[in-house]
Amino acid sequence: MQKLMKVCAAATAVALMTAVTGCGTSSTNSNTATSSSSSEPTLVLATSADYKPYEYHDTSSGQDKIVGFDIDVANAIAKQLHFKVQIEDMDFDGLIAALQAKRADFVIAGMTPTAARKKAVDFSDVYYQAENVVLTKKGHTVKTMNDLSGEKVAVQLGSVQETAAQSIPNVKLDSLDTIPTVVQEVLSNRADAAVIENTVATGYVKSNPQLQLNKIAGMTENGSAIAFPKGSPWTKKFDTAIEKMKQDGQLQQLANKWFGGTQ
């Protein structure tokens, strides 16, 4: 190692520029993406890693890694803006509080920038558009939200789906911390249905053939945006990076990778 350092120190300026990747170092773990520049700031990314394919725990390599569409988006922005990412996993309904308490620099978690949330935090431009659907067991077809009147409906606590389900007449709302728990309520017949996002529901239907996805006419679309503490200097910088990713097709490529769809 000392010999290598002496070689790098003795190289000419031109040689140093061409050999920088050989003499520099970088490291990654399941919750951190780093760059070769030690001068880059580290931003804390807060997420709720129970929302496949947006963000979830992947142990297929023998290590516990948080991966997904949102993580790829965050890492692409970090590369553009030259910062490192440190991921903190927490319950969805605690994400905004983490920003307000300055325990996180930004949140990316398939979060919709609702009017209520905008009072508490700032948001980037929308980077992905999806829609809500109703997940049920096969044979329980739902065409309108009113078809769920009087039934028990599972949703994620603090989500826009929870708000949507509250409008169902005489609904028995079952608000839970994580999406896997929400889906399990339907699988185990402890809930009649669940309201979740279409891209997430599609994955559960593929892996659980006893489930079916019900599209509801006029169901509200959800735009996902990145949240920041009020007054964060990073908001406009992220907007610039997101626009560039839209223009050069990178967001399209990531959407195709994780959803098989287009944006």
Whether 2-127+225-259 and 131-222 share one fold: the answer is yes
Per-residue confidence (pLDDT) for residue 217, from 0 to 100 = 82
What is the per-residue pLDDT for 16?
A: 33
pLDDT in tens, 213-234: 999 987 767 899 999 999 999 9
Contact between 182 and 176 under an 8 Å Cβ cutoff? The reply is yes
pLDDT per position as a tens digit, 25-54: 233 334 544 444 568 999 999 999 999 999
Any idea where the domains of the chain sit in the sequence? 2-127+225-259, 131-222
Domain 131-222 has CATH 2.40.37.10: no
Q: Which CATH fold would you assign to the domain 2-127+225-259?
A: D-Maltodextrin-Binding Protein; domain 2 (3.40.190)
Output the pLDDT for position 37. 54
Whole-prediction pTM value?
Answer: 0.75
Mean pLDDT, the chain, rounded, equals 86
For 250-258, the CB contacts below 8 A with 24+ separation are 250/76, 251/73, 251/127, 251/128, 254/69, 254/72, 254/73, 254/76, 255/69, 255/128, 257/69, 257/72, 258/53, 258/54, 258/68, 258/69, 258/72, 258/199
pLDDT of 17 higher than 60: no
Q: At residue 160, does pLDDT exceed 80? A: yes
